[in-house]
């Protein structure tokens, strides 16, 4: 077989190179990738197919990227305003709004900053007040036609959230922003100086996280909690569920830390996550000693080595 050159194709999507040998004549007797009397035309046809495939992958990749970056609208009140999401940012276009506040749904991310779009005067920035199922944004003087909220990660609705997955080290980090709160006043507070589940004043209040277990076994449990001066000593419980019935239970006493946003890590004990799949972890009070139970910024589950 006589070689007459080669054709090099560069993938538009990945930059990878494919080099095809071009031959004329017959193939080696028992080995080779072309059939007998394979011509230059056949190889060129194959090369064109490969090139078309690479271009199609590149086109689909760019199309998917464009769709993913499309701003996603949020329900906002009063009418006449528009709130969209793009990456880690929510932009609220106020339009002809005459009032001094807007309301958006509660989201699952901690707030990094809230500003008037295009205005650098931090003293006049709007403020955010969290409610259990919504957030109210207020201002005294309107400095711009739009408000921009920047979050630590992509802000999603609770209905859009999926179970929290394990980190690369196998541990499972349950942030306050991902908690589903149930009760009269309990809520997620996204402000930079809070980033916590707070307003934990009711005996029936609870916070629940959904997470995925890939490696069943024993896990150490740590909680990042704060509690105001004179508010410590309440009793609480941590339960994990795989189905309706609790699989593990830890009871603990809330530690006073001097302030509800003075957070400290505490080791609570061990739990058994016996099966792979979706689990839930729930925090709730047994008895509230003073005005409020505690604030919780995170729960961390760290897998223990298998016992021998």
Question: What H or E segment, with its residue span, contains residue 47?
Answer: helix 40-68
Say what percent of the chain tops pLDDT 70: 76
Give 305's contacts (C-beta < 8 A, 6+ positions apart). Answer: none
Rounded CA-CA distance 234/225 in Å is: 13
Give, in order, the Cα–Cα distances in Å from 195 to each of 179, 224, 260, 296: 11, 11, 11, 9
pLDDT band at 245 (very low <50, low <70, confident <90, very high): confident
pLDDT band at 44 (very low <50, low <70, confident <90, very high): very low
pLDDT digit string, tens, across residues 152-171: 999 999 999 999 999 999 99
CATH class of the 72-151 domain in this structure: mainly beta
What's residue 269's pLDDT? 97
| Bridge pairing between strands 235-241 and 277-287 | antiparallel
CATH class of the 162-303 domain in this structure: mainly beta
Question: What H or E segment, with its residue span, contains residue 6?
Answer: strand 2-10
> What does pTM read for this prediction?
0.76
pLDDT digit string, tens, across residues 64-90: 333 344 557 899 999 889 999 999 999
Contact (Cβ atoms closer than 8 angstroms) between residue 149 and residue 135: no
- Domain boundaries of the chain, sorted by first residue: 2-68, 72-151, 162-303
């Amino acid at each position: 077989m006589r070689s007459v050159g080669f054709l090099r194709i560069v993938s538009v999507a990945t930059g990878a190179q494919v080099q095809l040998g071009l031959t004329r004549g017959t193939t080696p007797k028992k080995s080779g990738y072309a059939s007998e009397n394979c011509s230059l035309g056949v190889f060129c046809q194959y090369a064109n197919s490969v090139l078309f495939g690479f271009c199609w992958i590149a086109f689909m990749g760019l199309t998917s990227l464009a769709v993913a970056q499309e701003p996603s609208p949020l329900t906002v009140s009063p009418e006449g305003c528009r709130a969209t999401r793009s990456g880690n940012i929510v932009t609220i276009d106020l339009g002809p709004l005459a009032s001094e506040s807007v309301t958006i749904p509660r989201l699952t991310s901690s707030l990094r900053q809230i500003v008037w779009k295009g205005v650098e005067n931090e003293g006049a920035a709007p403020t955010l007040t969290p409610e259990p199922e919504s957030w109210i944004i207020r201002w005294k003087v309107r400095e711009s036609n739009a408000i921009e909220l920047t979050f630590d990660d992509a802000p999603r609705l609770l209905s859009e959230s999926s179970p929290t997955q394990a980190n690369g080290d196998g541990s499972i980090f349950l942030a306050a922003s991902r908690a589903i709160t149930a009760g009269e006043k309990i809520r997620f507070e996204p402000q930079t100086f809070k980033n916590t589940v707070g307003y934990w004043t009711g005996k029936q209040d609870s916070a629940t996280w959904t997470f995925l277990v890939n490696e069943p076994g024993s896990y150490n449990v740590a909680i990042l909690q704060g509690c105001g001066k004179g508010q410590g000593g309440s009793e609480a419980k941590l339960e994990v569920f795989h189905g309706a019935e609790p699989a593990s239970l830890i009871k603990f006493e809330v530690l006073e830390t001097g302030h509800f946003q003075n957070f400290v890590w505490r080791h609570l004990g061990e739990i058994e996550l016996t099966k792979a799949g979706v689990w839930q972890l729930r925090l709730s009070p047994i008895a509230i000693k003073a005005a409020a139970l505690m604030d919780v910024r995170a729960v961390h589950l760290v897998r223990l080595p298998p016992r021998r």
